[in-house]
Chain A
């Protein structure tokens, strides 16, 4: 009996303690109006745009900094930003920019030609006194630059070693955002934690693994943003991020898992979608094995049910890809391309004609990775489709970094096909790095399937050298037709980036660049 008394007392005490604990708990703290809380997918690495590579970091940086140029709202075409106008020399190697007057960095220093020169010299010149604030992993975007010179206080001239058409869109990329030289000199290696730019929001606070806070820049050259502040919270786990959105802990959530989308269909939320410059494809080993025959490569394109993959595996978060260039590059996209239809009979015919019936294939699949969507499920679906037309497919799965380690050096002697996805800022980048003969792995490129067509090489070289957008568009469109026919890849999907906002958030839209631009957004 004594024992029972004790335990009863213990239970009451425990119950009281829990009751006390719960009553002491404040209801989930409400964020103030005009402060937007964004659920990010990871802790950022740095606030120094020249040193980062992840879209996750870009989402913050695009709001703190401006570049010389930027993408026009809703497109991937460049328009003036810190530069008000520019001139390109006839041979396409000299770019002269006029800078916007009266722009100040958040630290009070002025934007001028010296500041622009400092930015590019810091990245590109090993001997620059602040080169040690790197490394600068994406500085090769600007490797064509041989010299940056100050013409006058507000005019700056870039000289390139050869005509390089993607130069302007690379300047619009986060690697080209302009940082304050004064702040870099003051903070050195810690600039990444004490950033200063010219953007619509200025840096407020970075609490490691909790939040990055940016505050409205009332002096922004385009006028102050509507929001008072934005809080970026790193929430790595997608399910937890979804729960935070449902519980009201965040106002805006990016990269919603396909299966969680249905949670947000009702009132109270808006789901945003935007196709981006992304393409998900299978690299086919065109050098050896069954895929050395173009008919087998085409057969693979016919055999795979891409509609089923984007609708059933990806829950509609992607569209079927027709060719190597994503439709998001509207000006360079070949509208006349139709995706390979799902036609297993045609695939069987082609396989029979090529004598590749029952061929055995090794297929590299990754477990995850940047832009790879749902690679294991997609790989399995693809395997099943290929088996159905009589190919024997053996999957080998790798963790993402290991995967890049086996795929990037080339598939020769190892595999017949591999998954891959790219997100780029210019229609030049992917085909130039992954489809030219000069881009075979042994020459330092990403053409891991050894595709080679002299006509394609020629078109891509010409497009890169031209500074006329219409001319470039024509060349890229012709390239797409040839590449689709040659089928060095199986063209599978173009990812549609998504985001969810709560009903308090207004005037938000996703950009094809996949950047997050918040200067026009409201919250009440």
Chain B
């Protein structure tokens, strides 16, 4: 088991290095440099050159990459010029907000998705199944940013139940209830699509398991239907559902970009969008590497859990 974990961790290194190279090259190749972005209409060649020099962008590309990589390995992600702030400070601050949003959405969509899928499978072709399948189809089809805007219009502007945007109230206590009221709409909007995908896959995984012999045996032993479904079948079905959860975690994390823009959630997705528009190279590069590292680690954890559930995977 330990050997397996070490092997998985080692395999992450080339992935992350590759990502660092790719994001560096993309940022170097996209048209428009930071100095032009800062100066806007005032970007004369002379002003651009001077500002690039001040920003340390006049060195050759290869050299810049290794300086960046070297600094990063020592924990120095550089300074964001668009925010005038240490990149790592900004990322860790923003990542916390994304983690709260994406984490809650992920838990929400995992539980709702698996339960809906299992429920639907256990009553295949019944009215529950049809209702769930229909809502799942609708959920998968609605773009999350559109859903988010509609939710803002209905629940925040019309009913005034929830605040429109942000993570904390401008005035008043920063307690759990304040956080929950700000979190509710974005978390729901973010989890809808993933819930649908997970529900679909759980349903088919369950259907497959329910046809197997050991289920018939369990029923023959006289176990209650609830016990058969929720203990025996679900555990077996989870083996094929969990890797999907890992992938969905990635989707939730990337979907957070839209949701954070719509709800002005101070997370890392919104940070990246704004940083790209401002050509804040170090912030984009640092942010992407950081998010990628988290995603890779998350998948390793998922793999390990899966290998615990299904001993055949450990090789």
Contact = CB atoms under 8 A, between A and B. Distances in A.
Interface of A: 2-3, 5-7, 10, 21-22, 24-32, 35, 37, 42-43, 45-46, 48, 51, 53, 134-135, 137-138, 140, 189, 192-193, 208-211, 231, 233-237, 239-240, 243-244, 246-249, 369-371, 398-406, 408-409, 420-423, 433, 441, 444-446
A98 B167 CA distance: 48
Contact of B31 (A3, A24, A26, A399): A399
Interface stretch (B61-69, B149-157, B191-199): B149-157
Contacts of A247: 156-157, 160, 163-164
B13 interface: no
Contacts of B153: 243
Scoring A3, A10, A51 by chain B CB atoms within 10 A of each residue's CB, the highest score goes to A3
A246 B36 CA distance: 36
Given A7-B119, A53-B40, A137-B39, A25 B161 contact: yes
A120 to B, nearest CB: 18
A60 to B, nearest CB: 14
Contacts of A243: 149, 152-153, 156-157, 164-165
Contacts of B93: 208
Contact of A240 (B164, B274, B279): B164
Interface string B215-254: 0000000001110011000000000000000000000000
B278 to A, nearest CB: 9
Interface string B170-191: 1110000110110010000000
A249 B164 contact: yes
B37 interface: yes
Contacts of A422: 41
B32 A401 contact: yes
Contacts, number: 182
Contacts of A2: 224-226
Contacts of B226: 2-3, 5-6
Given A25-B162, A235-B264, A445 B177 contact: no
Given A53-B40, A237-B264, A239-B149, 6 more contacts: A2-B226, A24-B181, A137-B38, A209-B266, A210-B266, A398-B31
A210 B167 contact: yes
B286 to A, nearest CB: 16
B57 to A, nearest CB: 11
B172 A26 contact: yes
A79 to B, nearest CB: 26
B163 A249 contact: yes
Given A135-B54, A137-B38, A405-B31, A240 B264 contact: yes
19 contacts: A5-B226, A6-B230, A25-B180, A25-B184, A31-B170, A43-B83, A43-B274, A45-B84, A137-B51, A193-B85, A208-B85, A209-B94, A211-B170, A236-B261, A243-B152, A243-B164, A249-B170, A370-B40, A408-B36
B311 interface: no
A7 B226 CA distance: 10
Contacts of B152: 240, 243
Given A135-B51, A398-B31, A400-B32, A42 B274 contact: yes
B9 interface: no
B72 interface: no
A210 B157 contact: no
Contact of A244 (B83, B94, B164): B164
Contacts of A404: 32, 36, 40-41, 43
Interface residues on B, range: 35 or more
Nearest to A24: B177
B54 A21 contact: no
Given A3-B225, A135-B51, A446-B41, A29 B261 contact: no
B306 interface: no
A237 B157 contact: no
A240 B263 contact: yes
Contacts of A5: 226
A210 B168 contact: yes
Contact of B54 (A134, A248, A444): A134
Scoring B31, B172, B263 by chain A CB atoms within 10 A of each residue's CB, the highest score goes to B31
Given A24-B180, A32-B171, A137-B51, A233 B166 contact: yes
A48 B83 CA distance: 12
B182 to A, nearest CB: 9
Contacts of A409: 45
Nearest to B156: A247
Contact of A235 (B165, B167, B184): B165
Contacts of A192: 84
A246 B157 contact: yes
A478 to B, nearest CB: 25
A370 B41 contact: yes
A398 B167 CA distance: 34
Given A45-B84, A247-B160, A444-B45, A53 B39 contact: yes
